[in-house]
Amino acid sequence: MESKIKIALQKSGRLSEDSLSLIKECGIQFNNGTGKLMSESSNFPIHFLFLRDDDIPGYVSDGVADIGIVGENVVFEKNKEVEIVHRLGFSKCRLSIAIPKGQKFNSPADLNGLSIATSYPRILSHFLKENNIHSDIHEISGSVEIAPSIGLAEAVCDIVSSGSTLMSNGLKEVEVIFKSEAVLIGNKNMNGEIKALLNQLLFRIKSVQAAKNNKYIILNAPNKAIPKIIDILPGMKSPTVVPLALEGWSSLYSVINENEFWEVIENLKGAGAEGILVVPIEKMIF
């Protein structure tokens, strides 16, 4: 029988939508009927398990699933024997310590003696130990941000994204202790066939990510400006230069990274580029 790679995904929550979009962008079709706990693909040897995110590291370390997509915060908190195979760049957030707005804070030493409510006791105690701080960790499983107002704790350590939850609960973020994003994790003892499937999947994921991070750019320029423009364009190798029907002019095609996009565009215009077109890339194969 042909082997299939088993992937654990969050059933419903902040990771679900982006995880499923990534799978789809990798050209993998599947039927995600609502309420289903398992599913298969019709065009890739993969089996999906839909679980609570907290259970994903454990299932992957036990080999119930070969791989999984989960927040790095959960991977470190659960401390299971799994490998981080690839960073996925979505569901970015941070784990931070916050205290009531009116309270003074100069350094982490001010946390000494406080009780801190959190759902992340392992990551928090690691931070406290490293900084030689002695606080009481009060583990709770949800609604951490209300702990100070109901007198359960004097500070919190919780996931922060925009910061609005902390603000609306009268808290201020004073120390970021962990930065997280969604990661692809894998079992440490995958057999050769499963590893080969993982590599196929990784190849597709990397092509999708590279395409998202880059844009295809087409521009016209007088021939005398070409050397300067080539210096500005980072490109994959070197840009394609095609002569235009108009004497003394050429068209250049290249790829530029999203991060340096506006700066490159401004420099190109300054160097004499005209009629600049920017086109999204569907896939980028290396």
Q: Does 11 bind Zn ion (CB under 5 A)?
A: no
d(CA 138, CA 124): 10
Cα–Cα distance between 264 and 257 in angstroms, integer?
A: 9
Max Cα distance, the chain (Å): 78
Q: CB-wise, 10 or 207, nearer to ligand PRT?
A: 10
Q: Which residue type sits at 15?
A: L
Q: Is 53 in the site for Zn ion (CB under 5 A)?
A: yes
d(CA 235, CA 214): 10
| C-alpha distances out from residue 216 to 211, 260, 267, 277, 284, Å | 9, 13, 16, 8, 10
Mutual orientation of helices 16-25 and 192-213 as an angle, nearest 10°? 100
Q: Residue 60 and residue 57: Cα distance in Å, rounded? A: 5
Size of the site for ligand PRT (CB under 6 A): 21
List 19, 73, 118, 207, residue binding ligand PRT (CB under 6 A): 73
Select from 5, 8, 9, 15 the one that contacts ligand PRT (CB under 6 A). Answer: 15
Asked if 54 touches Zn ion (CB under 5 A), the answer is yes
Q: Which residue is nearest to ligand PRT (CB)?
A: 71
158 near Zn ion, judged by CB under 5 A = no
- Residues 75-134 close enough to bind ligand PRT by CB under 6 A: 91, 93
Q: How many residues does the chain have?
A: 286
Site for ligand PRT contains 160 (CB under 6 A): yes
- For ligand PRT, the binding residue among 164, 237, 245, 262 (CB under 6 A) is 164
Among 13, 27, 63, 234, interactor with ligand PRT by CB under 6 A: 13
Could you give the 3-state DSSP secondary structure of residue 34? coil
Positions touching Zn ion (CB under 5 A) are 53-54
Contact residues for ligand PRT, defined by CB under 6 A: 10, 13-15, 52-54, 71, 73-74, 91, 93, 158-165, 180
